[in-house]
Amino acid sequence: MATMHDVARLARVSVSTVSYVLTGARPISQATRDKVLAAMTELGYQPNAMARGLASRRSRIVGLLMPMDERGLGATETAFVTGAAAAASVAGYHLVLSPVGDLDDLRRLASQRMLDGAVLMEVQVEDERVGALQEAGVPLVLIGRTGDTTGLSYVDIDFDQTVREAVAHLVSLGHDRIVYVNHSAAAIAAGYGPAVRTRDAFVAAMTGHGLEPVMITAEDSAAGGRAALTAALAQAPDLTAVLVMNENAIFGILGELTNRGLAVPRDVSVVSMVTSPQVAELATPALTAMTSPGSALGRIAVEALLRHVTGTGDDNHQQLLPCALEVRGSTCPAPATLAVSVSDGSDPTGSGPPGT
Amino acid sequence: MATMHDVARLARVSVSTVSYVLTGARPISQATRDKVLAAMTELGYQPNAMARGLASRRSRIVGLLMPMDERGLGATETAFVTGAAAAASVAGYHLVLSPVGDLDDLRRLASQRMLDGAVLMEVQVEDERVGALQEAGVPLVLIGRTGDTTGLSYVDIDFDQTVREAVAHLVSLGHDRIVYVNHSAAAIAAGYGPAVRTRDAFVAAMTGHGLEPVMITAEDSAAGGRAALTAALAQAPDLTAVLVMNENAIFGILGELTNRGLAVPRDVSVVSMVTSPQVAELATPALTAMTSPGSALGRIAVEALLRHVTGTGDDNHQQLLPCALEVRGSTCPAPATLAVSVSDGSDPTGSGPPGT
DNA sequence: CTGAAAGCGCTAACAC
DNA sequence: GTGTTAGCGCTTTCAG
């Protein structure tokens, strides 16, 4: 393995010159640079990452910290990762995905000066990792948001916009009995951001359309989805559409719908929010969904982090990204307004009270 | 940030002593060790990873290289990761997941002496990464197998056993028209290990039971699954069971079955191979599956790698792990043997030619 | 525009 | 059982 000395000797320059052509930290004449570059390629030189890191106090590694629970990475999260990795690679940084479950592990990783910065995924409202990294002096950017974002950089999904557009889509199809299946009650109670924010946004959106917001909570599993649909039908027997933000429950919901002889979308329209096209396509029919801005989230987070790390630019980047409506096969116009309504010609806006 | 010198000074010992209590590379008296440890905690000392790496020529980082395509990590792959991370952590190593898509990126990573070793996931029959890492002198272990495994360490799933048990399960339930839905024809032609090995194992298993092996290929998507089921029914209209090893196609298969009014498991039993419980539970009914030895694969791979890296033990670990049959709701006894058979009492073994 | 040399924080001989 | 010290390969002053 050739070292910088070897390159310097071969190019007949000093080591510092070699170093400077590598880092670009000071101007080098074209002639010298060419000599050095030639020597490098001739020797197949690659700088030693550890030595660089020690001398420069910069590892050129940024971490993507994701709590890996058993559920695995959905396509959405995977998109974060690929987007982030690409952005890091472009900047000459390595992105390492650290499946740190343990807070102590994280503390260790951070204090060992192994990371120039970190992107946190799956951020909780009260996330201990934030404090741990700040104490260790590791710059960070969140994908998601903590409760108090003062002085923190983050990139997150615009849940308000997402819910609003999803509801608008259903309303424009004539639906007026829309049930929202959220994450679990426990998640909401714990203040899990996406669950809380979508809940509020749903209430606002429905109210804005003069409709009554009905929300059901669901455990993150197929069984949870089945139970949620059962509860939804109990609470709103005349529902014509369900809005879901729970990739783990959605298949249970669809299964239970089928079990009850309700066809999608003929009898019930379904919209899945913050969903990747891949998952949407798994269902039959494919799901109309609000597609998450997957790789963009990851890319933007890393770019903001690197700006922070290198001291280039704002160290307080806060940004929301929209989800895009992609209409597939799980939504269609609401079944002809209730027989009674049709027969008496009332309620053409479809915004009447339930049970009419 | 406290350094080793600070610790040494506070404990009134030499730096080397501190270093040795850290590495355990030579015996230290209990008294000194205690002093040093006390000093360390008092200062909140954490060794600098870069300095250690430079001096010891060991980064204590092992890479888990996974080509991240858009599909994302299934629960199965995620289990590899968590198993591997846990094993690395226990040994005091960091596991970094490197989403290297580009071979040049990988070469760079390897030549920069950043990795003490690597575990390769999603191994292809002809995998360029193997050569790249070997040239760079990076020890490696595969999860999966290349075509020629001479001199290579690997851990893989025992596809023979998996197929054999899955078929045996169906046969024991009285099924005799079993269709296997494999990966795509292209994947098989390219020599994709799991596809080729399960194909051969399926033929062997069916033949062993005196049954005719019918295999259909499917693209890795819901649409591919739907098409495959259509093809399967065309080729074997009287099929009573389908065996699948394609997590992306399985939902398409199930959807198409429903579309055609075929109930699972009443009309058709379904077994999914190399599947995580999480995915199996997504379906309604939950899928009977051959559960993959997820985290064990990751753990064993890392343990083998670390033995290799530290020179402790065989650097040629080759091991196959079985999948476990977990019976859920998608299989049941075959529909009463064909009416004709029953009425004429023939073919009790169910091994007659198709179309009887 | 280029060189010389002093570290970065740690490990691992080599001494005792 | 412990101390001394020469590097590991690079970056970055400080000089020219």
Q: How confident is the model at residue B72 (pLDDT cuts 50, 70, 90)?
A: low
- DSSP H/E element including B343: helix B339-344
Q: Provide the number of structural domains found in chain A.
A: 2
- Asked if the structure places residue B75 within a domain, the reply is yes
For A113, the closest of B49, B81, B99 (CB atoms) is: B49
Verify that A270 and A256 share a domain, yes or no: yes
Using the beta-carbon criterion (under 8 Å), do B222 and A71 form an inter-chain contact? no
Lowest-confidence segment of A94-108, A139-153, B255-269 by average pLDDT: A94-108
- Asked if the structure places residue A196 within a domain, the reply is yes
Q: What is the pLDDT of residues B325-334, one digit of tens each?
A: 999 999 999 9
Verify that A184 and A87 share a domain, yes or no: no
Distance of A14 CA from C3 C1′ (whole Å): 6
| Distance in Å, alpha carbon of A194 to nearest chain B alpha carbon | 21
pLDDT mean across residues, chain A: 89
- DSSP-derived letter for residue A268 is -
Lowest-confidence segment of B106-115, B149-158, B265-274 by average pLDDT: B106-115
Helix axes B128-135, B103-111, angle to 10 degrees: 20
- Could you tell me the CATH number of the domain that includes residue A14? 3.40.50.2300
Distance CA A38, CA A34 (A): 6
* CB of A11 within 7 Å of some strand D atom: no
Pick from A262, A268, A220, A77: which is nearest to B281 by CA? A220
For B48, the closest of A73, A112, A284 (CB atoms) is: A112
Tokens 């879901």 -> residue: A244
Distance CA A124, CA A298 (A): 17
| Per-residue CA distances from B48 to A166, B22, B116 (Å) | 50, 12, 17
pLDDT higher than 60, residue A350: no
Distance CA A127, CA A125 (A): 6
Distance CA A355, CA B245 (A): 47
pLDDT higher than 90, residue B81: no
Verify that A277 and A138 share a domain, yes or no: no
Q: What is the pLDDT of residues A224-264, one digit of tens each?
A: 999 999 999 999 999 999 999 988 899 899 989 988 999 99
pTM for the full predicted model: 0.85
Tokens 């003069």 -> residue: A210
- Asked if the structure places residue A345 within a domain, the reply is no
- Asked if the structure places residue B333 within a domain, the reply is no
Q: What is the pLDDT of residues A148-191, one digit of tens each?
A: 899 999 999 999 999 999 999 999 999 999 999 999 999 899 88
Verify that B167 and B115 share a domain, yes or no: no
Supply the pLDDT for residue A72.
Answer: 65
pLDDT mean across residues, chain B: 89
For B68, the closest of A78, A99, A281 (CB atoms) is: A78
Verify that B276 and B314 share a domain, yes or no: no
Verify that A13 and A126 share a domain, yes or no: yes
Tokens 């080397």 -> residue: B16
Phi, then psi, of B77 in degrees rounded to 5: -65, -40
pLDDT higher than 70, residue B269: yes
Print the domain residue range for B109: 4-157+294-323
Verify that B172 and B119 share a domain, yes or no: no
Interface test with B, best of A96, A247, A276, A330 (most B CBs within 10 A): A96
- Asked if the structure places residue B108 within a domain, the reply is yes
Chain A residue whose CA is closest to B3 = A112
Verify that B175 and B279 share a domain, yes or no: yes
On strand C, nucleotides with any atom < 7 Å from a protein CB are 1-5, 7-13
Chain A residue whose CA is closest to B282 = A222
Q: How confident is the model at residue B257 (pLDDT cuts 50, 70, 90)?
A: very high
- Asked if the structure places residue A63 within a domain, the reply is yes
Verify that B8 and B151 share a domain, yes or no: yes
**What is the sign of the dihedral through the CA atoms of B157, A72, B295 and B141?**
positive
Return the nearest residue to C8, CA–C1': A55
Contact A54, B260 (CB under 8 A): no
Using the beta-carbon criterion (under 8 Å), do B256 and A284 form an inter-chain contact? yes
Verify that A147 and A175 share a domain, yes or no: no
pLDDT higher than 70, residue B352: no
* CB of A56 within 7 Å of some strand D atom: yes
Contact B63, B129 (CB under 8 A): no
Q: How confident is the model at residue A96 (pLDDT cuts 50, 70, 90)?
A: confident
Q: How confident is the model at residue A196 (pLDDT cuts 50, 70, 90)?
A: very high
Which of A276, A291, A306 marks a domain boundary? A291
Starting at the edge strand found earlier in the chain, the sheet holding B214-217 runs: B214-217, B178-182, B241-244, B269-275, B288-291, B324-326
Supply the pLDDT for residue B310.
Answer: 87
Distance of B157 CA from D9 C1′ (whole Å): 42
* CB of B319 within 7 Å of some strand D atom: no
Using the beta-carbon criterion (under 8 Å), do B73 and A73 form an inter-chain contact? yes
Interface test with B, best of A89, A97, A295 (most B CBs within 10 A): A97
Verify that A318 and A268 share a domain, yes or no: no
- Asked if the structure places residue A174 within a domain, the reply is yes
Verify that B114 and B207 share a domain, yes or no: no
Using the beta-carbon criterion (under 8 Å), do B78 and A96 form an inter-chain contact? no
Contact B166, B202 (CB under 8 A): no
Q: How many residues does chain A have?
A: 356
- Asked if the structure places residue A56 within a domain, the reply is yes
Which of B251, B272, B291 marks a domain boundary? B291
Supply the pLDDT for residue A70.
Answer: 62
Supply the pLDDT for residue B221.
Answer: 85
| Arithmetic mean of pLDDT, A143-149 | 89
* CB of A5 within 7 Å of some strand D atom: yes
